[in-house]
Structure 1
Amino acid sequence: MLKHSSKFISVLATLAILWHTNGDSQTRDLGGTGKLLDGIAAIVNDGVVLRSEVNLQLEAVIANFENQQGQLPPKNVIESQVLENLIIKRIQLQRAERLGIRIPDEVLNSAITNVAVKNNVSFAEFPQVLAEEGIDYEAYRQELREQLTIDQLRQRDVASRILVSPSELESFLILQKDRDALNFDYDLSHILITVSSSASVKQIENAENLIHDIYQRVVNGENFTTLAVEFSQGQQNLNGGRLGWLKGEQLPTIFVQAATQLEKGEVSQPFRNSSGFHLILLHDFKGMEPILQDQIRVRHILIKTNEILDDDAAKEKLKTIRDQIINDGDFGAIAAAVSEDPGSAQEGGDMGWTGSGFFVPEFEAVAYAMEDDEISEPFKSRYGWHVIQ
């Protein structure tokens, strides 16, 4: 943990030089005849954060504040938070790449389809809807892919640290019956003041004083969202600390305990856990009965058409591949070698456990009609030609 912290500090240490001098030096190098198209805001290991990324994120945060009619913190405060968040994001994406975490096109397109449905449009219509809002579709896809990648990285990190003994599992199942609060959904905002494990007594005292000061300012009528952007060190600070709707089981127990004591619109007393000091604001909550969902686990091989390979050729190619799988019996090895879905190919085509509605209808119709271990005939979806098992 200390190595990561030291590396992060070293990155930030070079930041001031890059942030304040890089733009001027590049402009001088261009002389009077060139035009500066972009600049480097920070160097993060073997990658960079561009000034254009910082500016775009800064504009989005400011626009969001104006829409919420919140009091805007000083621009340099927002700018600093934006840059720090982009650096953390770049580090997370680099780590995900080293671990081989990639989002298959099927998963990405399914996520976009869900967003489109919530906006009452089809997948095909969604790019036009984004264009009308001034949002580039390819940039939106890339941003969403990065968000899904980071989510998978966090899930892997959590899973790798979980070790549950049979006795612990039994105790949990007994206690679970009495934990009605976990069956509710909570719409929360959050302010975090971090405290490291090596913090001195004075540092802990300063953090505690700060969180109590923030709490008193909220009680006195100041805007929680504004204070979250200015002071919070949580991952959603630039969104005013808004966590959105989360199930009780997704939240730390201490958060659920605090939330259940609140009325809608009420802010909690400051509380502390291993991460630091917290405040939460309860916007709303709703009950939720447990839902059992049928899931399937499939793996697939994707062949895409192009100027050279038309539908007929792609289908014939997959027929040959299917025959090879049936004769050799190694779907995973062949998927890794020939599938054109980069996210699942390295996993032998494995798409993991998924519920109804995750895949596009033409893919799902074939998958749910199959028996265990059956290999489908080649079929076409909007993304190309598939064989699935």
Structure 2
Amino acid sequence: MNRLLNRTRALAVASLSCLMLSVPAHVAAKAVEVDRIVAVVNSEVITALQLRERVEQAKRQLQRQGGQLPPADVLERQLLERLIVERAQLQLARDTGLKIDEAALERAIARIAENNRMPVTGLRSALEKDGVSWFRFRDEIRTEMVLARLREREVDSKVVVTDAEVDNFLANNPDAFSGVEFELAHILLRAPEGATPEQIARLRERANKVMARLRGGEDFARVAAETSDAPDGISGGNIGWRERDRLPALYADAAKDMKPGDLSPILRSSAGLHIIKLVDKRGGAAAGPQQLEQTHVSHILIKTSEVLSDTEAEARVLALRERVVNGGDFAELAKANSADLSAAKGGDLGWINPGDTVPEFERAMNALKPGEVSPPVRSPFGWHLIKVIERRMQDVTEERKRNAARSILRERKADAAFEDWVRQLRDSTYVEYRQDRE
């Protein structure tokens, strides 16, 4: 079977080469000069032009942020690897029928324009003024939506946090919710799936060389840009300000005894080897938040099934939203249409604490003001129409602490699970590098 797959891939690449050879000689010579194959990912190719566009985009972003540019060959290598991983995910999404239809894309773009306080036409004009093609922008948004939905389906929806894990977190973190925040930067040296002792030894040797450069006084951001396998490595590995409770457990445990400017020892996880730097630290004067914000919310749930496709379910939710916007009674529509147990109560879910719902639902709910109704929201359970009724601040109780702890653990587990999933997908993807040959 593997021999057959490899033959199929070789034939696909050979076919592309034959097409290039069939072009007149003077045109072919010019085409090779302008574009060429730099990598094969399963049966698809990545061209030099695609890589060059990604490199230029990264350079512009780094310059806006004031970051240091890594050497050209390092930047190109890291961005090629990112393109390979992205292409593998998009292929999986396509092969499993996951796609974003035009209506969903238009709504996403409308929300982006709204967040920038301009109409869609204004957003288009602003992008084109900056030299960004409108069609390319649409393609990039569609790609981001596909990747986000793929992660939700393959990783986030499968994360489970048990009561025992919540008990253990609270018992081992008596200072949880202290309000302490860390600004961290990190370097990840990724280990392959099922790495052998020899591979780990070579990875540790590489980590030791990185650590020697850092202890020798080299700038952390520059070293991260040149060596880190994490997606944010190119921009210096800075992950921004986060409450300690919402950091990966490995990072939180290492950072708690560090001072600003300190480097951690080389840390080991299932993803590989890590080095972190504590850039700064703040907060923690109070014993912790004494109140949590609760949201009184209602929803209508339309589930997909063998007879109701994903697109049809989304269209039904959109039609229900139009009825609500035009004066329809949300509670009555929920009773008649919702597939959730809350339908009998007009979709009323009562008062919701942070962490009570799945991340997709919570993000959409938090973006609404009291009285507002969301656009269609997709979660692992189906498509939702969400209405926020009111919000209030409540004193923290033990149960609310448990809910907050559950939310933190879900985030941590989802991030770790996604790292493992990406590594497994990358290791199972056929990749052939062609820069040297071309």
Task: Tell me the TM-score range normalised by the shorter chain.
Answer: 0.5 to 0.7
Partner of 1:237: 233
Deviations 1:241-276 (A, max 9, x none): 233344444432111122233333443222112222
- Distance in 1 between the 2:23 and 2:387 partners? 58
Give the counterpart of 1:276 among 268, 272, 276. Answer: 272
Greater relative CO (CA pairs within 8 A, separation 6+): 2
1:337 maps to what in 2? none
Amino acid at match of 1:167: A
Is 1:170 paired with 2:179? no
Q: CA separation in 1, counterparts of 2:105 and 2:296?
A: 20
- Taking the TM superposition and a 5 Å limit, the aligned residue runs for 1:94-109 are 94-97=91-94, 98=96, 100=98, 102=100, 104-105=104-105, 108-109=108-109
Deviations 1:85-134 (A, max 9, x none): 11101111233342636483477347625762xxxx53554444433433
CA distance in 2, matches of 1:151, 1:63: 24
Q: Using the alignment, how far apart are the partners of 1:184 and 1:171 within structure 2?
A: 20
Rounded Cα–Cα distance in structure 2 between residues aligned with 1:267 and 1:184: 19
Hey, what's the Cα distance between the residues in 1 that align with 2:242 and 2:199? 31
SS in 2 for 1:262: coil
Partner residue in 2 for 1:224: 220
SS in 1 for 2:159: coil
What's 2:293 paired with? 292
Question: Corresponding residue for 1:134?
Answer: 131
Residue in structure 2 matched with residue 58 of structure 1 by the alignment: 55
Q: Does 1:151 align with 2:148?
A: yes
| Poorly superposed stretches of 4+, deviation over 6 Å | 22-25
In 2, Cα distance between equivalents of 1:159 and 1:85: 21
Partners of 2:36 and 2:47 within 8 A in 1: yes
Secondary structure of the 2:208 match is helix
Distance 2:114 2:220 in 1: 30
Checking the alignment, whether the CA contact within 8 Å between 2:70 and 2:226 is kept in structure 1 is no
Aligned to 1:29: 23
Tell me the TM-score normalised to structure 1 length.
Answer: 0.64
Aligned-pair CA distance for 1:240? 2.8
Match of 1:70 among 45, 68, 82: 68
Aligned-residue sequence identity (percent) comes to 23
Aligned AA (2:23): D
**RMSD (Å), alpha carbons:** 4.8
- TM-score, structure 2 as length reference: 0.58
Using the TM superposition, give the Cα deviation of residue 57 of structure 1 relative to its aligned residue in structure 2, in angstroms: 0.9
Could you say if the C-alpha distance between residues 209 and 369 of structure 1 is closer, same or farther in structure 2, counting changes exceeding 3 Å? closer
Structure 1 distance, partners of 2:77, 2:161, is 40
Tell me the amino acid that sits aligned with residue 49 of structure 1.
I
**Could you say which residue in structure 2 is the equivalent of 1:195?**
191
Which ranges of structure 1 fall in alignment gaps of 5 or more residues? 304-314, 333-350, 371-389
User: How far apart, in 2, do the equivalents of 1:122 and 1:224 lie?
Assistant: 38
CA distance in 2, matches of 1:296, 1:260: 37
Alignment partners' CA distance in 2, 1:23 and 1:187: 49
Deviation at residue 66 of structure 1 after TM alignment: 5.0
Q: What corresponds to 2:365 in structure 1?
A: 355
User: Are 1:236 and 1:242, in contact at CA under 8 Å, matched by a contact in 2?
Assistant: yes
Task: Kindly indicate whether the alpha-carbon contact (under 8 Å) linking 1:265 and 1:284 is maintained by their aligned counterparts in 2.
Answer: yes
Q: Is the Cα contact below 8 Å between 1:191 and 1:233 reproduced in 2?
A: yes
Aligned residue for 1:387? Answer: none
Q: Separation in 1 of the partners of 2:227 and 2:295?
A: 43
| Structure 2: distance between partners of 1:111 and 1:147 | 14
Aligned length: 323
8 Å Cα contact 2:67/2:236 also seen in 1: no
State how far apart, in whole Å, the 2-side matches of 1:43 and 1:56 are.
Answer: 18
Give deviations 1:333-365, integer Å, cap 9, x for gaps: xxxxxxxxxxxxxxxxxx845224359x97559
Secondary structure, counterpart of 2:26 in structure 1: coil
- How far off its partner does 1:56 sit? 1.0
